[in-house]
Every structure is written in structure tokens, then in C-alpha cells.
Structure 1
């Protein structure tokens, strides 16, 4: 389902031009000219396909039953509820023939990824600042889609199903689950667990303050959006594409801030991380004073959740990039306090 976390996938395997042409013929998308694996495709699930009718993205071999139905639902809903460009039409072929698994085909959206070297080389410091503002504004637009109950889309029922229990139950339960999962691959001490429990208790009232929940993309990062120059001086940049909604759900949108913040810090750009966070906070304070009042406390918990996931994955795969003997609580607290200090 939507909020399950996947660290691996089966990939697409071998694909012949003949079979790919059959897949294109099913939706009358022209004659195959060229195809290649995408450099940053979702867990090896995607192909860039060029035909006589244009360029398309093919996503196949779903991670779970209903993955493409779920993404199609969010694409179609966001197309109606926002002005953010999303990949429509989003075609789904449920039959395993001819490629050996079900697949989805959608148009390739225009623009560039923020991480592309040539794109980065041409940008000025003002460009970087304008884009940080644009990303904050994009998230506030996404988060305007609100529902009464936290939950996720169920492709079988074809509707949003509330989580069992409250949003707080789901969020805190998920955090504790992945903390204990990390014990399989690393040292998580009783002191670490007590520290996490203290953080959760400290912010509990912030999540109980509101009964209205909003759309959360769940994976807002540079690989999942495209940007290009805007036509107006007042809007020098625009988001030209947003995609990959298989981790979307309804809860607290503050969660969507964590991955871009982490990237800015990882790239040695704390000033951009601060601008991104502050601009988002400024926008929600004007729009939603209640959420604004609890912004810092909620962000603390989402940063903690992110740290737990990254610690567990890095320890499980041996890709540790920090001092190996640093206790989890120390490592996580240093990062969380660093991020929160950017708001001052």
C-alpha cells in the first residue's frame, strides 16, 4: 500500500523491441524509435521511450498490487485540484502480456532535473534562491488538498481509507517500528529508545491540535520533479513536472520538507535549506495559523523519522557515511537541532 516502505524492487529485466512495440500499439502511441533505462528511475522500474508520436515514460513490474492504479488516482486528482503539471494521460495496461508484467505509460514532461550537472553549472545564486522558493510554494499548493481523516488510497476500494486509529497512532507506530527494525542491523541502546520516546512525547500535542489532514507526497525530492525557465520576469522559474506518487497519503504535509532539506545540507547549501524552510513556514503561517503554531514541533518528529530510516538502511547495507561508533541518539539529535536552528 501507499505508506509501505520499499528499499528494493525486481526491476524490468530484459525487454525486446518487438515486445515494447506491442506495448505501444496497445495505446496507439506510434512506432518505436529509441528507448533506454532512465538514469534515476524509480528502483529500476522506468524506461524513456521515444516514438514517432513523442517521448514517453514506461513504468513496469509494479512493487505491489495496485501501485499504478494508486499513482493514476493521484495524478488525475492533482490535475483537477492544482495547476501543477503531472503526467496525463496516465495509461495502465493490467495484462502481463507482452512485457511479462503490467505497466503504465505516460508522457515525458518537459524540463530538467535540479541535479543535472550542465543545468547546475548555468545557474546563478539568485536562480538557486528562486528555485528554493518555488519548491516551498509547490508544497503549499499540494498541501491545500485536505481531507477529514488521515489515511491512504485503497486501489481495491477505489477510495481513501482512514488509517486504523489516529494519525498520531500511525505516525508514532511507524517510527517505533523502524527504530526496532534498525536493531537488527545496528546497535540501538535503551538510551536511544528513551531519547526517541522523549521526542515523541514532547511533540504529541502538536499532532493532536488539528483534526484536518492534507495530501502528503511522501517523496518530494529532486528525482521526482522537473523545472524550467518561466516566461515572466516575476516568475523566473516554474515547476514543469511532478511525478511518482506511490508513497502519497494524507497526514501532516510538514513531512514533505525533509528530503529537500537533507539534500541542501548534503550539498553544502545550508542557506538554501533555510530559505526553503522559512519560505514554506511563511506561506503556511499566512494560510493556516494553527499549523504554523506547531510547525517546529511537527518538523522535529518528521526529521526524526527520516533519520531512523536512513540510519537503518545505511547500517543494513554497510553504506555508513558517519562515525561508526556514534550513538544513534547523538547522531540524530545533532542533525535535528541543526535543521531547526535554520528557522531562527
Structure 2
């Protein structure tokens, strides 16, 4: 996991039928019947493969050295630490001779994405609410995988390596890195920087009181999980597959709340955002008022971090979808405040 890969992409290019068949033979996965690009593979790294033995996902052409080794580690560990389905076995071929790059093959997990039209058409409001709760509780389960020190998995050393300095040093340093990066593509004033620094300073005590570091998926969003209904009741929806651990690390699990919250708000579903956040908070805070305040403070910083990334990417690619003349601080603050108001 590295701050240098957020906007990178390595596409697979053309993959010959015969070469793919040979790759399947290496793992005894049957006779190739058909394959195609996956609809959800925004990085262009994945193929959906159907063989005589079943359906698989091939992921290749790593974004950085060790990407697939890192993902294999998280997949295998999560299969032991949680009950949430992940793609095991995660079969890894490090050799690049056959396809031109290393690759992994894993089973295609059953279920559909939450944004799938067939799912959306079938869901009533009560099911939407139950799914929001289920997703929050799934995150709580993921975040129960604890480690002694905040850090990231090093595929070369084959161990979890603590961040240099404290978790706060790493997080705040990363936030400031991307804020300064956004200055290359947009106007970020001294006043904007001072405002961000003030938000960080105000939240320091909340992070210093943070519980033991735990697993953070880093990219918990609708594209990275599929769901299935296991019964007849609205509460019977479950995650049937969790995918993509390229940005996973160990730190504050609150960070994983930001992308689903943003999706609900973008779709004008603040009631679902509120249900999602409350379902998480009521468990992790356990009615402790001080812990709830610390939770809200940390969430505010993670929301700010996502706003910085969104601002920088939108400005760099000229895809701004908001009032163009709005200063960064005003734009970010109105969003963070609107989310935190849902917790009141």
C-alpha cells in the first residue's frame, strides 16, 4: 500500500487464448471456455474467465512490485480472522514469462453489486436500511483484526511493518502530501492550508486516544463487494464477496466509513448514510459519550482526507462537478459538517 498509486493504472493489454489456457493449466483449473474484461475492473487489471471447472478472476500486470503478494496476504489472513467471504484460494504466479507480467487467479465470488439495476429494482426502503446496517456491522468485524502497531504489510520483508513515527504522523503527513499535490492543479491558498492544519490540530487528542490499531480495507465501496440474500427477510442480505485489498493497512477503521457515506449522500439518501454511520457508532462507542466525540472527530479528518483526494483528482482531470469558484476550505467544510450533523 503506497500513497504513490492512487491514480495509477496498468492495463492488461491483449491476452492470447492459448496463453491464458496455459496459465490455467499451471493451476489445474480446467479447459478455457471464454473470457472477457470485467465491468468493475476500473484499473484494467482483471479478466473474468470461464472454464470447465467454474468461473475465475485473473488479476495481473501489478501496479507496483509486490501488489499481488500483498493482496494474497490480506485475502488469506481475512479468511482466518473473519467470516466475510474473500477470494480463496488466491493462486499467485510470480513468473512473468508466460503473460509478460505476474498474475493471480482466484474464484469468482457469487452475488451482485449493490448498484446493479436488478438489485436496486428489487430493494424496498426497509431492505436498503438493513443493508446499510449490515455493511456497518461487516466493517466492525473486519476492524476486529487487531495488531500491536499501525503500519502496512511489506511483501518483501513478508511482515507487517510499523509506520515511521506514529500513526498520527503517517496520517497527517499523507493528508498534507495530497493537499500540496492538489496545489499543482488548482488554487489552494494559505488560508486553505491554515484551515486544514486547524482541523488536524483539533483532532489530535481523538487520534491519540484511538483504540488498538486494526485492519483498514482502505477502499470499502460498492465496486469492491458483492451481496446476496440468504433468506426471506429484509435483514437477510449478506456480503457474499469482498474484493481488492491494494490499499489495505492497519490503523483507524473509521477511515473505511467515508466512501459508502459519500455514495449515499451523492445519491441523495442521507437517511441511509445516517443509518450506516449510526449502526457503526453504536457498537464501537458503546454509549460512551467521550468515545463518541472522539469517533466523530476522527471521522471528520478521514472525510476531509477524501475531500482532498477528490478535489485534487477532479481539478487535475478537469472534471469538477461543483461550483468552480468555491474555495477549497469552504467546499470541504460544508461537506464534512453535513456528514457530522447526521450523527447529532
TM-score range, shorter chain: over 0.9
Partner residue in 2 for 1:182: 182
1:146 Cα shift? 1.0
Q: Does 1:259 align with 2:259?
A: yes
SS of the aligned residue for 2:230 comes to strand
What's the counterpart of residue 247 of structure 2?
247
Deviation at 1:177, TM superposition (A): 0.6
**Other-structure match for 1:270:** 270
Q: Which structure 2 residue ranges, 5 or more long, are not aligned?
A: none
1:268 CA displacement: 1.1
Q: Distance in 2 between matches of 1:336 and 1:175?
A: 15
CA apart distance, 1:5: 3.6
Aligned to 2:104: 104
Q: Is the 8 A contact 2:131 2:235 kept in 1?
A: no
**Quick check: 1:62–1:68 contact (8 Å CA) kept in 2?**
yes
Distance 2:233 2:336 in 1: 36
Question: Deviation at 1:16?
Answer: 1.0
Q: How does 1:130-145 map to 2 (within 5 A)?
A: 130-145=130-145
Contact 1:2 1:153 in 2 (8 A): no
- Pair 1:287–1:237, CA change in 2 (3 A): farther
2:220 touches 2:260 (CA, 8 Å); kept in 1?
yes
Residue deviations 1:126-170, cap 9 Å, x none?
A: 110110001000000001011121100000111100000000000
C-alpha distance in 1 between matches for 2:102 and 2:288: 41
Residue 206 (structure 2) aligns with? 206
Change over 3 Å in CA distance of 1:139–1:11 after alignment to 2 = same
User: What secondary structure, in the 3-state scheme, does the structure 2 residue paired with 1:227 have?
Assistant: strand
Aligned position for 2:337: 337
- TM-score (ref. length: structure 1): 0.97
* Matched-pair contact (CA < 8 Å) for 2:89–2:106: yes
**Does the 8 A contact of 1:21 with 1:32 survive in 2?**
yes
TM-score (norm 2): 0.97
Within 5 Å, which residues of 2 pair with 1:49-88? 49-88=49-88
Kept in 2: contact 1:154–1:161 (CA 8 A): yes
SS of equivalent residue, structure 1 residue 174: helix
Distance in 1 (alpha carbons) for counterparts of 2:68 and 2:191: 42
Describe the shift of the 1:287–1:90 C-alpha distance in structure 2 as closer, same or farther (beyond 3 A).
farther
1:1-344 counterparts in 2 under 5 A?
A: 1-210=1-210, 212-231=212-231, 233=233, 235-286=235-286, 291-344=291-344
Partner of 1:295, secondary structure, is: helix
Using the alignment, how far apart are the partners of 1:219 and 1:117 within structure 2? Answer: 22
CA RMSD of aligned residues (A): 1.5
- Cα displacement (A) at 1:2: 4.5
Aligned counterparts of 1:210 and 1:52: Cα–Cα separation in 2: 50
How big is the shift at 1:122?
1.2
**How far apart in 2 are the matches of 1:286 and 1:64?**
40
Residues 243 and 337 of structure 1: CA distance in aligned 2, closer, same or farther (over 3 Å): same
SS in 2 for 1:343: coil
- Looking at structure 1, the residues matched to 3 and 291 of structure 2 have their Cα atoms a distance apart, in angstroms, of 22
User: 1:201-237 CA distances to partner (integer Å, 9 max, x unpaired)?
Assistant: 1101101113621110000000000101023748411
Q: Give the drift of 1:262.
A: 0.3
C-alpha deviation, 1:45, in angstroms: 0.3
